[in-house]
Amino acid sequence: MSTDHDTIPFDEAVATFDPVLGLETHVELGTNSKMWCSCPTSFGADANTQVCPVCLGLPGSMPVVNGAAVESTIRMGLALNCSIAEWCRFARKNYFYPDMPKDYQISQYDEPLCFDGYLDVTVETDDGPREFRVEIERVHMEEDTGKLTHAGGATGRIHGADYSLVDYNRAGIPLIEIVTKPVVGAGSLAPQVARAYVTELRDLMRALGVSDVRMEEGSLRCDVNVSLAKPGEPWGTRSETKNVNSLRSVERAVHSEIERQAHVLLNGGRVVQETRHFHEDTGRSTSGRSKEQAEDYRYFPEPDLVPVAPSPEWVEELRGTLPENPSAKRARLRAEWGINDHEFQSIVNAGALDLVEETITAGVDQAAARKWWTGELTRVANDREIELVDLGVTPDHIARVEVLMAEGSLSDKLARQVFEGIIAGEGDVDAVVAGRGLAVVSDDSALLEAIDAALAEQPDVVEKIKGGKVQAAGAIVGAVMKATRGQADAAKVRTLLLERLGVEG
């Protein structure tokens, strides 16, 4: 008997079947207030401190649409090459769940604000970069639900929990949902196309400033639909893996679902239309709720809100506020910086493009800007499993460090310690240098003192140097560096000690 976990190796699966993808992405908008009330939206506040009668769904309360959320949605729609509805309504999606105090969610149903767009994405293949056009079905507005915490069980899931807690701070935060049309023809690249799409979407939202898109805080969540069919046959039944929370997981969820469905189909089984849950630890999903019977949400137009009718003039005005499209920006920067594909890709992969650009604008030379962000700082961010932007290091910090390095008062090694201090919250560059006593010992008299001490300790080395073996100076330089706890400029020490011995360098 086959289990839910049996798979066919990926290469075999995509040799037999063509995958079809569908991505539904929810993004929390970065508005200051909620979708229908003026409650604040900041993350991490004490439970149920950012609530009011409207977002608690108390009887008699009335919603009012957040204009900034409509504006953000239209800008997102325009950036995704969508048409913008001249008139559309909200709809009530009725269902009962304790994270939704009204017992219905206000969403949009058959009248989305934005529709029929596309987003071009690029994936790296063995034969170089390949572009895919992902068509967008709709971009609509809705509201987030509250957050349930299931306590007392081993897994944090409702099964086995002793009790559940609910926090309504998130209830009513503006969400936009972006739904793709079925993505066909990606073949074995389907997992990468899915990831590239979500990455591009994230970059686009950041560029637009409509959301800070922190996946680890759940402000971008993705439902991943996958089906398989043999070439030329009608599309298969899709499964929908819910709430996939990281870019890497999006790729893995598609990959593992292709392997799982291929096994089902090759063994004469039938793919069931269902939701699935992805598990970060195993990289696999388990079956959730069956969707064989379409749920009846009894949608109807929301009677408490007026229709949204953006004027064409306003839409055009918003079009004028669109930033440079991220893919156009990448092409421009790659050309401006004149670096190769590989170097450029490592910046993009590190999520450092904007940071590198801002660092160059702050006056740092290009190679140094790239080196810090893709080297040391990426390593620290990876270690801590946070994003580069959350390290607390800014382009201005790097500019200041580079100035101090150019002056000779910081070495590369000391600069790393400065960043360590900034990340640890010890203040800005100058504060960390002062606080940790990091300035290079460049005062000649202090250096000469250390050099004389080292020379006195190693008379045999002194003889060698005087006898013409200049490379033996390394031992003295090493001793001086040790004595100054690494805070001397090694090249300078070398010059000074050769001068001291009257030897040409």
Nearest residue to the partner ligand ADP, using Cβ: 22
Assign residue 37 a region (left: φ > 0; alpha: ψ between -120 and 50; beta: otherwise).
beta
Is residue 225 within the footprint of ligand ADP (CB under 6 A)? yes
DSSP letters along 233-292, please?
SPP---EEEEEE-SHHHHHHHHHHHHHHHHHHHHTT-----EEEEEETTTTEEEEEEE-S
Is residue 153 within the footprint of ligand ADP (CB under 6 A)? no
Q: 3-state class of 129 per DSSP?
A: strand
Q: 3-state class of 81 per DSSP?
A: coil
User: Closest distance between Zn ion and the C-beta of residue 168, in Å?
Assistant: 8
Q: Which entry of Zn ion, ligand ADP, Mg ion, none binds 200, CB below 5 to 8 A by partner kind?
A: none
136 closest CA partner among 178, 86, 197: 178
User: Closest distance between Zn ion and the C-beta of residue 45, in Å?
Assistant: 13
Structure tokens that stand for 391 in this block: 């390290």
Is residue 184 within the footprint of ligand ADP (CB under 6 A)? no
Q: Which entry of ligand ADP, Zn ion, Mg ion, none binds 37, CB below 5 to 8 A by partner kind?
A: Zn ion
Q: 3-state class of 128 per DSSP?
A: strand
Q: Which entry of ligand ADP, Zn ion, Mg ion, none binds 55, CB below 5 to 8 A by partner kind?
A: Zn ion
d(C-alpha 452, C-alpha 467), whole Å: 18
Looking at the Cβ atoms of 24 and 343, the one nearer to Mg ion is 24
Structure tokens that stand for 335 in this block: 């050309």
Is residue 180 within the footprint of ligand ADP (CB under 6 A)? yes
Q: HEC string of 361-428?
A: HCCCCHHHHHHHHHHHHHHHHHHHCCCHHHCCCCHHHHHHHHHHHHHCCCCHHHHHHHHHHHHCCCCC
Pair 340, 348: CB distance under 8 Å:
no
DSSP letters along 5-70, please?
T----HHHHHHH-EEEEEEEEEEE---SB-SSS--B--TTPPTTSS--TTTTT-TT------HHHH
Looking at the Cβ atoms of 7 and 180, the one nearer to ligand ADP is 180
Stretch that binds ligand ADP, among 235-243, 331-339, 369-377, 386-394 (CB under 6 A): 235-243
Q: Which entry of Mg ion, Zn ion, ligand ADP, none binds 483, CB below 5 to 8 A by partner kind?
A: none
Within 3-42, the residues that bind Zn ion by CB under 5 A are 37, 39
DSSP 488: B
d(C-alpha 136, C-alpha 118), whole Å: 5
Looking at the Cβ atoms of 24 and 120, the one nearer to ligand ADP is 24
User: Closest distance between ligand ADP and the C-beta of residue 194, in Å?
Assistant: 11
Looking at the Cβ atoms of 25 and 145, the one nearer to Zn ion is 145
User: Closest distance between Mg ion and the C-beta of residue 269, in Å?
Assistant: 23
> Binding ligand ADP by CB under 6 A: which of 57, 153, 182, 301?
182
Is residue 240 within the footprint of ligand ADP (CB under 6 A)? yes
For the beta carbon of residue 399, count every other beta carbon within 10 angstroms: 19
User: Closest distance between ligand ADP and the C-beta of residue 12, in Å?
Assistant: 20
Q: Considering Cα of 480, then 486, then 491, then 492, what sign does the dihedral take?
A: negative
Within 369-428, the residues that bind ligand ADP by CB under 6 A are none
For the beta carbon of residue 481, count every other beta carbon within 10 angstroms: 20
Stretch that binds Mg ion, among 18-26, 47-55, 94-102, 149-157 (CB under 5 A): 18-26
Q: Which entry of Zn ion, ligand ADP, Mg ion, none binds 493, CB below 5 to 8 A by partner kind?
A: none
Is residue 288 within the footprint of ligand ADP (CB under 6 A)? no
- Identify residue 17 by its one-letter amino acid code: F
Q: 3-state class of 177 per DSSP?
A: strand
Helix (H) or strand (E) holding 119: strand 114-125
Within 21-40, the residues that bind Mg ion by CB under 5 A are 24
Is residue 172 within the footprint of ligand ADP (CB under 6 A)? no
Looking at the Cβ atoms of 37 and 247, the one nearer to Zn ion is 37
* Cα-to-chain-centroid distance, residue 500: 55
d(C-alpha 234, C-alpha 229), whole Å: 7
112 closest CA partner among 136, 146, 79, 144: 136
Looking at the Cβ atoms of 262 and 454, the one nearer to ligand ADP is 262
> Binding ligand ADP by CB under 6 A: which of 72, 192, 227, 256?
227
Over the window 22 to 61, marking each residue x when it contacts ligand ADP by CB under 6 A and - when it does not, the resulting string is: xxx-------------------------------------
- Total residues contacting Mg ion (rule CB under 5 A)? 1
Nearest residue to the partner Mg ion, using Cβ: 24
User: Closest distance between ligand ADP and the C-beta of residue 211, in Å?
Assistant: 20
d(C-alpha 478, C-alpha 350), whole Å: 35
Within 51-70, the residues that bind Zn ion by CB under 5 A are 52, 54-55
- Total residues contacting ligand ADP (rule CB under 6 A)? 16
Q: Which entry of ligand ADP, Mg ion, Zn ion, none binds 196, CB below 5 to 8 A by partner kind?
A: none
217 closest CA partner among 387, 97, 394: 387
User: Closest distance between ligand ADP and the C-beta of residue 116, in Å?
Assistant: 13
Site of interaction with Zn ion (CB under 5 A): 37, 39, 52, 54-55
Site of interaction with Mg ion (CB under 5 A): 24
Site of interaction with ligand ADP (CB under 6 A): 20-24, 137, 179-182, 225-227, 235, 238, 240
